[in-house]
Amino acid sequence: GHSGAGARLLLLYGLVFDAGSSHTSLFVYEWDSDKENDTAVVSQTLSCDVQGQGISSYANNPPEAGNSLRECLHKALMAVPAEKQRDVPAYLGATAGMRLLSAADPQVLAEVAKTMQEYPVAFKGAQILSGEEEGAYGWITINYLLDSFTKVGQGWNGEWRAANIFGALDLGGASTQITFVPKGSVMSQNKSPELTLYGYSYNIYTHSYLCYGQNEMLKRLAKELIVESFPSTRVQHPCYPKGYNETVSVSSFRASPCTDGSDPRLPRGDINVTLEGSGNASGCRAAIRKLFNFSACGQSQECTFDGVYQPPLRGQFIAFSAFYYNFKFLNLTEGQPLAVVRQAIEELCTRSWEDLSSSYPKENPKRLPKYCANTNYILILLLHAYKFNETSWNNIIFQMKVGSADAGWTLGYMLNLTNMIPAEAPASLKGHMPSLWAAAITFIILTLILGLAALLLLLWA
């Protein structure tokens, strides 16, 4: 869209920081002001990874949380023409890492806001998203980018339409979200929102599981393994590769809300424990399963674990963020059946650390030993908790981007806060909306085909 000065005048920009638990990313979006009420018109101009850890890690030094954003803010300004910078709405949304750090958050958020206000953009606020917002905005992002809110306008009723909306599966460092449009209505006690977008209402189900992001899952797993073998300070870790060791201090579990510092089974004092990889795929699965309380669901089918309600799955899902990154490591071609995926994970888990580190010299050495745990975790979450099965597994599409933009909550968040998602179908789209015409034409064509077939049969006989 940079063709000529006339076209450039119509471009608008927006900027969103995704302050996750383990790192922060910045996204710059652009769109044509003429079409702002249509779907799939916003594209991603820039993404920038903030150096260092997530903002919640600066709880003891909040000004540094603000400073960490400067490099990316600078890059963002380079991507926006100078005369437009003051009109660029700029947001920072923080997710599960900050939800966990409730005590210190006012200072950290105040510092990031202070830094953003120093730049010539229209700063609109820094806030912590709830898990439900995170889920809903991710769902809005992917369906907006896939144009599914308006493209499926060929449907003749709302029920058909809802069936062609994609569900969203998001896995972060500290939480994971599932969001979809179930059949019928969502049980009333669920606080999932009803959203009216482009002339249709969607009764979505969304749930965010705090402490079930991949990093918190790994911490909880380590804690359980250590507590079970106490007082040993050398503990076998079935999900880590043979030959890989990791030293953790027991006091780190006390500092994190997900590992329940008040657990009486935690050894007292500052003990270091060495986790020794044993590369045992079945042992790994068994240990991960214990992180979920499946029995808390009793006999209920509409329940995932820990007593959480979920209606039956429906439709296709896009699995992004860490769902995508971990699966990408398995190096499988798209659409593999579950049995092939299981086999690949099994093989991965039995490879030694020596073998892995020499086979993947370019891979981040902090991530490499964790793929076995992460991929097993993902399968247990999707199959046992969410209840995908051998058949519905094929409805999951692992994808990082949709079109030009990353799948995630940031775009949906910006669209909503800038009022770019109208409740009514915009005038420019009404011409494409389902009409009796479409039905009539299909009917006429079908009639013609049937007539022709009958004629042929007659002639043949």
Ligand X SMILES: *[C@@H]1O[C@H](CO)[C@@H](O)[C@H](O)[C@H]1NC(C)=O
Other Cβ atoms within 10 Å of 337 Cβ, number: 12
**Is 68 annotated as belonging to a binding site?**
no
Decide if residue 302 touches ligand X (CB under 6 A).
Answer: no
- 221-to-226, 273, 347, 405 alpha-carbon distances in Å: 9, 14, 21, 33
Write down the least CB distance from residue 445 to ligand X, Å. 32
Q: Does 267 bind ligand X (CB under 6 A)?
A: no
Backbone angles phi, psi at 191, to 5 degrees: -90, 25
Question: Pattern 235-254, binding to ligand X, x per CB under 6 A?
Answer: ---x----x-x-x-x-----
* x/- track of binding to ligand X for residues 209-238 (CB under 6 A): -----------------------------x
Select from 49-57, 151-159, 176-184, 272-280 the region that touches ligand X (CB under 6 A).
272-280
36, 111, 134, 216: which one is catalytic?
Answer: 134
Active site residue 71: no
CA distance 237 to 350: 13
177 has binding-site annotation: yes
**Is 162 marked within a binding site?**
no
Amino acid at 402: V
Say whether residue 189 binds ligand X (CB under 6 A).
no
State the angle between helix axes of 105-117 and 70-79 in degrees (0 to 180), rounded to the nearest 10: 40
Q: Label residues 401-440 b or e (16+ Cβ within 10 Å = b).
A: ebeebbbbbbbbbbbbbbebbbeebbeebeeeeeeeeeee
- Residue from 189, 295, 358, 364 touching ligand X (CB under 6 A): that is 295
* Residue 63, Cβ density class (10 Å: 0-12 exposed, 13-18 middle, ≥19 buried): middle
| Cis omega (within 30 of 0) for bond into 231 | yes
Minimum gap (Å) between residue 24 Cβ and ligand X: 22
Does 276 bind ligand X (CB under 6 A)? Our answer is yes
User: With respect to ligand X, which residue has the nearer C-beta, 173 or 277?
Assistant: 277
The answer to the question of residue 134 lying near ligand X (CB under 6 A) is no
Neighbours of 285 (CB within 10 A): 20
| Interface characters, 417-436, with ligand X (x: CB under 6 A) | -----x--------------
List, as one string, the DSSP characters of 42-86: -EEEEEEEPSSS-GGGGTT-HHHHHHTTHHHHHHHHHHS-GGGGG
- Answer yes or no whether residue 301 interacts with ligand X by CB under 6 A: no
| Ramachandran angles phi, psi of 190, nearest 5° | -75, 135
Question: Does residue 331 belong to the site contacting ligand X (CB under 6 A)?
Answer: yes
| CA nearest neighbour of 429 among 6, 41, 8 | 41
Least CB distance to ligand X at residue 193 (A):
6
Q: Strands 43-49 and 24-32, how do they pair?
A: antiparallel
Q: Apex CA 254: angle with CA 248 and CA 260, to 5°?
A: 115
Name the nearest CA neighbour of 342 among 368, 318, 378, 370.
Answer: 378
Residue 136: CB minimum distance to ligand X, A: 4
Nearer to ligand X, 61 or 293 (CB): 293
Residue 133 in contact with ligand X, rule: CB under 6 A: yes
The closest residue (CB) to ligand X is: 283
Q: Which is nearer to ligand X, 65 or 318 (CB)?
A: 318
Q: Is 391 annotated as a binding residue?
A: no
Q: Does residue 9 touch ligand X according to CB under 6 A?
A: no
Specify the stretch interacting with ligand X by CB under 6 A; choose among 64-72, 94-102, 155-163, 388-396: 388-396
Per-residue contact string for residues 145-184; x = within reach of ligand X by CB under 6 A: ----------------------------------------
Instruction: Give the containing element (helix H, strand E) for 26.
Output: strand 24-32
Count of other CB atoms within 10 angstroms of residue 358: 9
User: What's the CA gap between 238 and 230, in Å, rounded?
Assistant: 16
Q: Does 283 bind ligand X (CB under 6 A)?
A: yes
Size of the site for ligand X (CB under 6 A): 32
Q: What is the DSSP letter of 35?
A: G
Contact 115, 148 (CB under 8 A): no
Among 102, 229, 282, 447, binds ligand X (CB under 6 A): 282
- Min dist CB 282 to ligand X, Å, is 5
Residue 36 interacting with ligand X (CB under 6 A): yes
Binding-site residues, please?
A: 173-177
List of residues contacting ligand X (CB under 6 A): 34, 36-37, 133, 136, 193, 195, 238, 243, 245, 247, 249, 270, 272, 276, 280, 282-283, 286, 293, 295-296, 307, 312-313, 331, 389-392, 416, 422
Binding-site residues for ATP, please?
A: 173-177
Residues with catalytic annotation? Answer: 134
